[in-house]
Amino acid sequence: MKNIGFDQLGDFLESQSFVDWVKGNEGSDHYFWEQWLKNNPQKKELVDEAIELIKGVEFRPLEVSDRSIDSALEKLNQRIDREKSIEETRSRVTRVRRRKFIGIAASIVLLLTFGAWFFYAGHPEMVTYTTGYGEWKTITLPDGSVVKLNANSELQHLKDWNKQPVRMVWLKGEAYFGVQKMMDIDREFKVITKDLGVEVLGTSFNVHARGQQTQVFLEEGKIKLDLGDEISYMEPGDLVVYSGPQSKVLDRRKKGQVTGNPGSWTEGVINLKDAYALDIFERLEEIYGVEIRVRNEEIFTRQYWVQLPMEELKIVIPILEKSMKVKITRKENTLYLE
């Protein structure tokens, strides 16, 4: 994985992604940082210092002592002194760097006082595509690969995509990939989610990365899954569900064992065959941002085959009523089923 400009201590402290990973927060970019560290061993000392600082901050918003604040400032000032240039002729550069670290020190004082991070976490070198609830996009990447981005999702790649040895994208949500084959067969395509990495050369597949797991369905071609401690290869028709927090495969099915079509949404239809109500409701909540409440709990014990058009919710509701044999009442952003 390429270095994305993390050259100074402040770069790590200002990255919310890095902070979340260090703290083990849900939804953190665990896979990304594990791979980054493997590929940037020369940054280990800098990373260790950043981790020490982040873990050294205690989150007690209403019980902050002057000693805690002074300790944090002292630690940062020591780092500032180490960062000074040996060559005094470069004093201007040193002053700029010192101002940056003083700014970080002030931020940590705010953190200790109010119990929250206020660091900016964006990466200006990234190109980002997003969709809202009930919105879909078709994206053509610089190499000609086509990505269909489902509702409530985000896709990112580096601005200098064509200069990278690996065609890498980061996904939150769901997307269907039609990957363009390259003349340079060594220039692989890789999709990164918070749970796993999907490596391909040229293929079509669906990735659904939400909640505590990532589901990958391969339509054609061949892909390799990097599951951390395990490498798994998929053939057309295979489906794998992996949980990063649990570090294990939750479901693995071969061609013929997969019910419905996980990629059917790209053709304008949500096709769920032999699905339990909970699975159907989760899909609707993801795509439309609604809350679903069930008044008849028997609904949860049945399996359904539903085919819902990717249209406005007001069109989907009557079709869902007919498919599940239920009555649906809508009040603002909540659906009541009985």
pLDDT tens for 226-250 read 887 788 888 889 999 988 888 888 8
The answer to whether the pTM exceeds 0.75 is: no
CA torsion through residues 239, 245, 247, 250, sign: negative
pLDDT value at position 5? 61
Angle in degrees, 0-180, between the axes of helices 313-324 and 277-288, rounded to the nearest 10: 180
Q: How far apart are CA 154 and CA 128, in angstroms?
A: 7
pLDDT of 165 higher than 80: yes
Confidence of residue 84 (pLDDT cuts 50, 70, 90): very low
Residue-by-residue DSSP string for 288-333? H--EEEES-GGGGG-EEEEEEESS-HHHHHHHHHHHHT--EEEETT
Q: Provide the 3-class DSSP secondary structure of residue 24.
A: coil
What is the rounded average pLDDT of the residues 321-327?
A: 87
Backbone angles phi, psi at 146, to 5 degrees: -110, 130
Q: Which two tokens stand for residue 327?
A: 């009555």
210: number of Cβ within 10 Å: 20
pLDDT tens string 259-269: 777 888 888 88
Confidence of residue 222 (pLDDT cuts 50, 70, 90): confident
pLDDT tens string 297-313: 888 888 888 888 877 88
Query: How far is CA 97 from each of CA 50, 84, 85, 294, rounded to the nearest angstrom?
Result: 16, 8, 10, 57
pLDDT value at position 71? 52
pLDDT of 275 higher than 80: yes
What is the rounded average pLDDT of the residues 115-125?
A: 39
pLDDT value at position 24? 77
Confidence of residue 90 (pLDDT cuts 50, 70, 90): very low
pLDDT value at position 103? 40
pLDDT value at position 140? 94
pLDDT value at position 131? 93
Confidence of residue 59 (pLDDT cuts 50, 70, 90): very low
pLDDT tens string 145-157: 999 999 999 999 9
Question: Going from the N-terminus, what domains does the chain have, and what CATH number goes with each?
Answer: 9-114 (no CATH), 126-253 (2.60.120.1440), 268-337 (3.55.50.30)
pLDDT value at position 274? 82
What is the rounded average pLDDT of the residues 131-138?
A: 92
Confidence of residue 137 (pLDDT cuts 50, 70, 90): very high
Confidence of residue 323 (pLDDT cuts 50, 70, 90): confident
Mean pLDDT for the chain?
75
Max mean pLDDT among 18-22, 71-75, 139-143, 184-188 falls in 139-143
Give the residue with greater pLDDT, 190 vs 75: 190
Confidence of residue 184 (pLDDT cuts 50, 70, 90): low
pLDDT of 281 higher than 80: yes
Give the residue with greater pLDDT, 296 vs 29: 296
Element (H, E) at 190: strand 189-192
